[in-house]
Amino acid sequence: MKVKEFIETLIETITTEYGANRPLAIAYLVVCALVLIMAIVALVMKIIVFIRYSKANRMPVSNQMTGLETARYALDTAGLTHIKVRKAGIIREALFGNYYNVYTKTIYLRSILGKIDNKKSVTSTALALQKVGLAKLCEEGDKKTLIRNTLSLIGVFGPFLFIPLILIGGVLDYYVLKTDGKIAGMCIVLGVLFMIAGFIVTALNIPVEKKANQRALEMIEEYDLATPQEREVMKNVFDTYIISYICDFILEILRIVQWVLQIVMKAQSSKNK
C-alpha cells in the first residue's frame, strides 16, 4: 500500500470511528504523528542525558568531596544550615531522582541508580550544587521555584490519575451510589485539575532548572569547587537536561492538543447522532 493510500485509510478510519469531519480527522492524525515523533525525540534526549550523566559520574572531581559533602559544604557556606542533606531511598529515587523537598527542607541525592551521594565525581558535585541552587531559590522566595517544587508530587502522579479517577467516578455513580453523574463529574474536574498541575510543573521545569543550573555554576566559581575543564563538563550535563525538559514540554503541549481534539470529535459525533 502506498503512503498516500495508507494516510487516506487512517483518515477514513478516524472519520468513521469518531464521526468527525475530514478536516478534524486530518488535524487529529497530524497531531498524533507529531506526538509520536516528539516522544521519540524526548526518549533520545533522555538517553543522551543518561550517557552524559554516567560519563561525568565516572570522572573524579578535583575537590575530593562526595555529593553529600559538597551539598553540605555549599549550604553551610551560604548560611542555610537548617536545610538537611540525605540519601534518597529506592522509592523516592525512582520517582524523583535527585531533588529538593520544599516541605521538609531536605535535599535528597541518588544512592542506588546513578549513585552520587558518596561518589567523588564531576556529576556528584554538579547535581549536589544544582539542588543547593534550588534550595537557595526557594529560601529566597522565588515564586516559580516554590510553585514547581510545591506541585512536584502532583506533577509526577497527576497525569496518571486522570483515567482512574474517571473510572472510579463512573463506578461510584452508576453501580454503588446510583446517582445522576455528579460524582463522575467531580472526578473528571479533579482529574483535569491534576493534569493542569502536571502541565504547570512541566512548563516551570525549564525556567526553574535554568536558574538552579546558573546558581550551581556560580557556586563552583565562588567556592572553587572544580577546575575550568570540570566546570565545562558540568555545564554540558546541565544543558542536556534543559533540552530534555524542553522536549518534555513540547510533548505535553501536543498531548493536550490531542486530548482536546478527541473531546471535540466525540462531541461532534454525539451531535450528529
pLDDT at 137: 95
Grid coordinates in use for 227? 577546575
49's CB contacts (< 8 A; 6+ apart) are 237, 240, 241, 244
Q: Which residue has the cell 473510572?
A: 167
Least confidently predicted of 68-72, 174-178, 190-194, 213-217: 174-178
What pLDDT digit, counting tens, does each position of 168-189 carry? 766 676 666 666 667 767 767 7
List the one residue out of 160, 233, 205 whose CA is nearest residue 42. 205
Give the chain's mean pLDDT. 85
Helices 122-139 and 22-57, packing angle to 10 deg: 120
pLDDT at 11: 73
pLDDT at 129: 96
Q: Is 87 helix (H, G, I), strand (E, B) or coil?
A: strand
pLDDT at 29: 86
What pLDDT digit, counting tens, does each position of 144-162 carry? 998 888 877 776 666 666 6
pLDDT at 180: 66
Q: Is 108 helix (H, G, I), strand (E, B) or coil?
A: strand
What pLDDT digit, counting tens, does each position of 83-140 carry? 999 998 888 888 788 989 998 999 999 988 778 888 999 999 999 999 999 999 999 9
What pLDDT digit, counting tens, does each position of 42-92 carry? 999 999 999 999 999 999 999 999 999 999 999 999 999 999 999 988 888
pLDDT at 202: 79
CA distance 66 to 57: 11
* Statement: residue 252 has pLDDT above 80: yes
pLDDT at 227: 94
What is the DSSP secondary-structure string of 39-72?
HHHHHHHHHHHHHHHHHHHTSBPTT---HHHHHH
Higher pLDDT, residue 221 or 165: 221
pLDDT at 160: 62
